Amino acid sequence: MSLKEIGSSLYDILILIFSAIALVIFGLIFYLVDLWIIKFASVDILGLEVSGDWIVISAAILTAAAMIGSISRK
């Protein structure tokens, strides 16, 4: 391997690591926004007595579905 190929490979690995970190951060932000929206809609607007575990699981499902759905390309 030449030095140019090694440098290119290291650059690609760094881009992969930064992309993975960015994806995790954006996923957490999106999850927290979904969690807040679901809590606000169910408890504050509709006045439902919903336990926290149902709010958390519904936000997790919505976040996973949105992230999986955003992968598809047309």
Ordered by start, the domain boundaries in the chain are 25-74
Taking the model in full, what pTM does it have?
0.74
Question: What pLDDT is stored for residue 68 in this prediction?
Answer: 86
pLDDT digits (tens, 9 = 90+) for 16-55: 999 999 989 998 999 999 999 999 999 899 999 988 899 9
pLDDT band at 74 (very low <50, low <70, confident <90, very high): low
pLDDT at residue 56 tops 80: yes
How many residues are there in the chain? 74
Cβ 38 vs Cβ 55: under 8 Å: yes
